[in-house]
Amino acid sequence: MSKNMKNIDVHALGKVAVLMGGRSSEREVSLMSGQGVLDALRSQGVDAHAFDPAEQELGALKLQGFDRCFIALHGRFGEDGTVQGALELLGIPYTGSGVMASSMAMDKVMTKRIWRFEGLPTPDWRMVASAEETCEAFAALGAPMIVKPARDGSSMGLTKVTDASQCAAAYALAAKYDDEVLCEQFIAGEETTCAVLGEGRFAKALPVIRIEAPDGNYDYQNKYFNDVTQYHCPSGLPAEEELRIQQIVEKAFRTLGCRGWGRADVMIRQSDRQPFLLEINTSPGMTSHSLVPMAARAQGMSYEQLCLHLVAQASLDSDLHQEHAI
C-alpha cells in the first residue's frame, strides 16, 4: 500500500502468468480466483495469461517468456512453498510470501508452534495419528473440538466434534486430506478475518471483517458458493478490539516472515473478548466471495487496483525483494 499505484507502469511488468488451478483439493476455488485476477489485470492493460501447473510443466514459464507470476493457487503445490521454490530456480518473480514463509504458514501446527513461542494467542491443540488419539485429544481439549487436516485449507476435511462418538469419523475425514491431523480447542465467539499487505515493518493490516455464517458454520460451501453468510466491513467491533486484532495479525504475519499479502483468521472468545489466531493464508482467495478484496475496497482500493498492486510487488527470495519492485 506504500507504493503509489498510479505510478505503476503496466508495460514494465512484462508478460505475466496467472497461476491457477493446480493439483490441490482447492483446485475449483483456485480456478475462480485465477479467472478473476486474469480479467482484472487485463482490464488494466497488463499482458496477462492463464497458466495451469496441472496442465503444463512450470519450466514452460521460462520457455514462453514470462517475466513474473501472480500466484492464484491455493493449498498444496501452490501455497506451500513448492511452486515458490520452483520459481526461485527459474528466476521468475512471484506474488506473495517466499519459500520458507509459505511452507511454514501452510503447516497449521508449525504456525501455531511459532506463534505460541512468540507469545501470540492461539487455541490449544493436539496432533493425532489415529481415531483413538483423537478421542484422547477430545478428553484433553474438551467439547467442542475442531478436527482438521494440518496442511489443507478452505475448511476441507474439517469437523466440529461435540461428542466422543464423532471422533473416529472426524479423524477419518481429515486423514483423507492429510496424514497429519490437528485437533484444536474450539473458541466460542465471533469469527473475524484480517488481511495484511506489505512486508516487514511496512506490513499493514486492512480493516477487520466480521463473519456471520448460518449456525456459525463457515464451511467450504458457505465460504464460496452460498450467499447466506454475512460479512461486516466495517466490522462493527469496538475500535480498541479492531486495533488489537490488527496488531496481533501484523505481528503474526511478520513472525512467519510473510510478504506481499496474507489473511489471518481470528476468533474472539465471547467470555472475555480475547482474540485467538487460527491460521494464516499466504495465497488468499480472489473469488467473488473472497475477503481480501472486500477489506481492500473498504480502504478505497478496487479489486483491479489490488491485483495490479500485488503483481507489481512480485519478487524473489534471492533478490532481496528489491530488483523487481516497480
**Residues noted as catalytic:** 26, 154, 224, 263, 265, 279, 281, 285
The string of DSSP letters for 256-322 reads TT-EEEEEEEEEEETTT--EEEEEEESS---STT-HHHHHHHHTT--HHHHHHHHHHT-B-GGGTTT
Interhelix angle 99-106/108-117, nearest 10 degrees: 100
Indicate if the alpha-carbon torsion angle 50, 51, 55, 60 is positive or negative.
positive
Question: CB under 8 Å to 117, separation ≥6 — which residues?
Answer: none
The span from the CA of 133 to the CA of 138, in Å, is 9
Q: What is the pairing mode between strands 47-51 and 15-19?
A: parallel
Grid cell of 44 as nine digits: 488494466
Q: How far is CA 10 from CA 46, 94, 191, 304, 314, in A?
A: 6, 16, 38, 13, 13
